[in-house]
Chain A
Amino acid sequence: MSAARVGVVTFPGTLDDQDAARAVRLVGAEAVPLWHADRDLKGVDAVFLPGGFSYGDYLRCGAISRFAPLMDDLVPAARAGLPVIGTCNGFQILCEAHLLPGALTRNASLHYVCRDQRLKVEQTETAWTGAFERGQEIVLPIKHGEGRYVASEDTLAALEAGGHVVFRYVGNPNGSLNDIAGIRNEAGNVVGLMPHPEHAVEELVGAPSTDGLGIFASVLKNLVNA
């Protein structure tokens, strides 16, 4: 059978698309470049929204990317069940697009944080985390100035009650409510997280772990089984 095809989106100001594409290839899938200005998902089986500073973070992080032509196709596809993950700026875009609840705001410290971060995997019932063990601790790099997850009390309660918190920080780096590092939507096909799995796939480049591979392996496993 042909390899699963994972789209990697590039907006103006995206930084991590090449790393994401490389990670996709490392697990044996085909990385398909998607351009923000095209209304064309090229028939991909899943989509990765990488980090960076799309549209210069103007207005709010992700606020303008949300209206890119590609998003006109991506939002309904995600609502219909297409596996979509956003890391860092990608997570911010998913929140701005209302595919995930809540928002990412300035770190409580006001400092940009760049470090290796320990996380706990809270949910394996998603399209992107099935290869992990529930409760497993992993280490992924973080690098962001606006990663403090906030949501209304009702939304937070619903996230917790529904088991929609996917990753929690062990040692909160940014003041996120409930130590939330990543969440999923109701269906589990859309996941957003601030840490960077695409930067933790090869030890050769000094990554703190290869734990990031689990994200890519998870979606691939689902696609192959589908």
Chain B
Amino acid sequence: MARVIVDVMLKPEILDPQGQAIARALPRLGFSGVSAVRQGKRFEIELDGPADEAALAEVRKMAETLLANTVIEDYSVRVEG
């Protein structure tokens, strides 16, 4: 059993109004020193077997097909260990 993490983020050039709203709220809550916030999604994929190259290739295919819309989002895949 292994856990693979897929992070999905809007591409840098795509406006993220949710991140901006969070960034604007932080100073009101007393948190200073934050220049920007971007909001994304994290997927935790539990594998039946080990996170070998073949399994990771499958996860990348999942990300490409469903988890991310690569028109507007980038994704990254890593093994949690």
Contacts and interface: CB of A to CB of B under 8 A. Distances in A.
Given A107-B17, A150-B15, A101 B71 contact: yes
Contacts of A67: 66
Interface size class of B (residues with CB under 8 A): 10 to 19
Given A101-B71, A103-B72, A150 B17 contact: no
Contacts of B13: 152
B69 interface: yes
Contact of A110 (B10, B21, B66, B71): B21
Interface string B55-69: 000000000001101
Contacts, number: 35
Contacts of A63: 66, 69
A60 B17 CA distance: 16
Interface residues of A, number: 20
Contact of B66 (A59, A103, A151): A59
B71 A151 contact: yes
Interface hub of B10, B14, B67, B71 (most chain A Cβ within 10 A): B71
A62 to B, nearest CB: 9
A103 B71 contact: yes
Nearest to B72: A103
Interface of A: prevailing SS = loop
A175 B18 CA distance: 14
A103 B71 CA distance: 7
Contact of B67 (A59, A95, A96, A108): A59
Nearest to B39: A106
Contacts of B21: 110
Contacts of A150: 14-15, 72
Contacts of B66: 59, 63, 67
B61 to A, nearest CB: 14
Interface string A89-126: 00000011000011101111110000000000000000
B1 to A, nearest CB: 24
Nearest to B68: A60
A95 B17 contact: no
B30 to A, nearest CB: 23
B13 to A, nearest CB: 8
A96 B13 CA distance: 19
Given A63-B69, A105-B10, A107-B17, 17 more contacts: A59-B66, A63-B66, A95-B71, A101-B71, A102-B71, A103-B69, A105-B72, A106-B18, A108-B15, A108-B17, A110-B18, A110-B21, A148-B15, A150-B72, A151-B71, A152-B13, A175-B15
